[in-house]
A = this chain, B = another copy of it.
Amino acid sequence: MRGMMMGRFQPFHLGHLDLVQQILQECDEVIITVTSSQFNYLKKDPFTAGERIEMIRNSIKESNLDLAKCIILPIENQFNIATWASYLKSMLPHFDRVYSGNIYVQMLLKNSQIEVVPPKFLEKEKYNATQIRSKIILNEDWEYLVPHAVSEFIKKINGKNRIEIINTSDTKPTEY
């Protein structure tokens, strides 16, 4: 059986990693879907799809998880949300079950023959990507909230600086 989880992973944190572990205890393989893959260098989406996939791979490698069982794939957001279940099916390998506590996701996948299972979230208030990005800007500790591999990677690509610049500059010639 294959389970699927999804997120923007801006960045991938210990709550996400814990969910990967949960799923691998119940399923043979897990698809980790990186949503909003077309966005980057934005307040809510500072990292590119490629960078997010790298962070997730590195985190799985450094934990005791079997990378060969993890299928990490990007998904773009679509305008016509009513076709979302169908879009997921076309872009991802088959999956039997989605792990999500989001009632919106549950609604969209109803009538799609995909089972939605609410996962046990590891301290949801603590592990939260929005807060992690805030802490990075405010110079607070945040590294303990993400896998070591993620803080290493963000350091390597100078991610703190990127997030600060995105949040500081008031006007951007690239704004949509």
Contacts and interface: CB of A to CB of B under 8 A. Distances in A.
Given A86-B82, A91-B74, A103 B165 contact: yes
A134 interface: no
Which 8 A-B pairs rank lowest in CB-CB distance, beginning with the nearest? A86-B86, A82-B90, A104-B169, A67-B68, A41-B81, A54-B93, A83-B86, A68-B68
A40 B168 CA distance: 26
A49 interface: yes
A75 to B, nearest CB: 8
B80 A90 contact: yes
B165 A81 contact: no
B91 A36 contact: no
Contacts of A78: 174
A144 interface: no
A66 interface: yes
Given A74-B74, A165-B107, A92 B172 contact: no
